[in-house]
């Protein structure tokens, strides 16, 4: 799919899927982070934080109705892959119906099972993990398991980007990945905080 087609598809998704997003929020408010999809300003801030220009594999946790998914695809190289993971049948069905892109893999399941899911699709370590799942509404133990899975599977120097309207994700992630770089996108309803962590390089060499 070329950039013009992707842009048109993103516009259609933003115009038509907000109702499905709101319905999903009403059904499962603990799994959906907002009542409406992300604005294009928030999408761009997420892309800037993730720095996908040379990415080979990106994982999106909680893609919702696909607005951010479309934005990620528009920024990925032609031979890259995007794996989305969501616990909502409705959202996964929407992605499968609305986005036709050979680079996209949609998986119904839990973000905490990231290691197993990557193996299932024979995928290597992701260059970036982008998360819209609401850490503020999930049990802290579950949130910690998600973060540990992300840290374990993310490649060295890879980025974990989470967009949230509350700050629990920073509290949960800090013990595993340190302090984030963060910024606020006010041109979104509600305003969203974008957090970014970069996985440290492990020095595996031992001194003689």
pLDDT tier for residue 35 given thresholds of 50, 70 and 90: very low
Terminal C-alpha separation, the chain = 52
Tokens 């996908």 — which residue? Answer: 52
Residue 205 lies in a domain: no
SS3 101: coil
Q: Does any domain span residue 208? A: no
Residue scoring higher pLDDT (72 or 13): 72
Q: CA-based angle 5:10:14, to the nearest 5?
A: 150
Alpha helices in the chain (DSSP H): 3-16, 18-27, 40-50, 67-75, 89-98, 114-120, 140-153, 168-177
207 or 74, which is more confident: 74
Report the predicted TM-score, pTM, of the whole model to 2 decimal places.
Answer: 0.83
19: pLDDT strictly greater than 90:
no
Dihedral of the CA atoms 19, 28, 134, 69 (nearest 10)?
-40
Q: Is residue 7 part of a domain?
A: yes
Cα–Cα distance for residue pair 93/86, rounded to 1 Å: 10
- CATH code for the domain in which residue 177 is found: 3.40.50.150
207 found inside a domain: no
Domain of 59 in residue numbering reads as 3-198
Query: How much is the pLDDT for 2?
Result: 54
- Residues 68-113: tens digit of each pLDDT: 999 999 999 999 999 999 999 999 999 999 999 999 999 999 999 9
Per-residue confidence band for 174, with pLDDT thresholds at 50, 70 and 90:
very high
Say how many domains are in the chain.
Answer: 1
What's the pLDDT at 92? 95
81 pairs with which residues across the strands?
57
Q: How far apart are CA 31 and CA 207, in angstroms?
A: 47
Q: Are 17 and 98 in contact (CB under 8 A)?
A: yes
Domain-embedded: residue 145: yes
User: Residue 87 domain-assigned?
Assistant: yes
Taking only the tens place, the pLDDT of each residue in 109-143 is 999 999 999 999 999 999 999 999 999 989 999 99
Does residue 206 lie within any of the structural domains? no
Flag whether 203 is in a domain.
Answer: no
């Amino acid at each position: 799919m070329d950039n013009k087609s992707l842009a048109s598809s993103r516009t259609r998704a933003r115009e038509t899927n907000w109702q499905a997003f709101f319905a999903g929020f009403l059904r499962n408010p603990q799994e959906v982070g907002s009542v409406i999809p992300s604005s294009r300003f928030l999408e761009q801030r997420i892309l800037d934080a993730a720095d996908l220009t040379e990415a080979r594999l990106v994982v999106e946790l909680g893609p919702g109705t696909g607005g951010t998914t479309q934005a990620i695809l528009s920024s990925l190289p032609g031979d890259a892959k995007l794996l989305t993971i969501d616990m909502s049948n409705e959202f996964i069905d929407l992605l499968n119906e609305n986005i036709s892109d050979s680079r996209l893999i949609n998986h119904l399941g839990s973000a905490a099972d990231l290691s197993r899911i990557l193996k299932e699709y024979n995928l290597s370590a992701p260059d970036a993990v982008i998360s819209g799942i609401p850490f503020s509404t999930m049990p802290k133990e579950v949130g910690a398991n998600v973060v540990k899975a992300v840290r374990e599977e993310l490649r060295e120097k890879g980025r974990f980007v989470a967009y949230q309207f509350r700050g629990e994700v920073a509290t949960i992630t800090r013990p595993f990945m340190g302090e984030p770089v963060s910024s606020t996108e006010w041109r979104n309803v509600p305003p969203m905080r974008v957090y970014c962590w970069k996985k440290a390089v492990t020095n595996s060499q031992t001194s003689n």
